Amino acid sequence: MHARPAAEFARRANSFRSAITLTNDGGRFSATSLIDILRAGLAQGSRLTIEAHGPDAEEAVDALTKLLEELQAQEARN
């Protein structure tokens, strides 16, 4: 994932009160940290798990999943 979409993802993740993590083959990363998202090395087609724990966990996972789909579609068009 490039820096601009990663920053957008981190901003959206920070809007929730839940603790949100991303997990892939490279490990576990904070979804609210731009540096962690970039370190995760997310690429088009890579597998990713979004986990959230807290009062708005379900809403957070749904919104971030939708955002990732939108970001992937934008990247595919470019």
Structure confidence by residue, pLDDT tens digits, 11-63:
999 999 999 999 999 899 999 999 999 999 887 778 999 999 999 999 999 99
Instruction: Give residue 45's pLDDT.
Output: 77
Answer whether residue 76 is part of any domain: no
Determine the Cα angle at 32 with ends 6 and 61, to 5°: 90
25 belongs to a structural domain? yes
Report yes or no on 37 lying in a domain.
yes
Residue 24: strand, helix, or coil: strand
Q: Give yes or no for residue 71 having a pLDDT over 80.
A: yes
CATH of the domain at 58: 3.30.1340.10
Instruction: Please indicate, yes or no, whether the overall pTM of this predicted structure exceeds 0.85.
Output: yes
Q: Domain limits at 37?
A: 3-70
| Amino acid (1-letter code) at residue 28 | R
- Domain-embedded: residue 32: yes
**For residue 18, what is the DSSP state?**
S
In a domain, 77, yes or no: no
Q: Which two tokens stand for residue 30?
A: 């904070």
* Beta strands, E only, the chain: 19-24, 27-30, 49-53
Q: What is the number of domains present in the chain? A: 1
Which residues are marked as active site? 2
The answer to whether residues 49 and 42 touch, using CB atoms and an 8 Å cutoff, is no
For residue 18, is it within any domain? Answer: yes
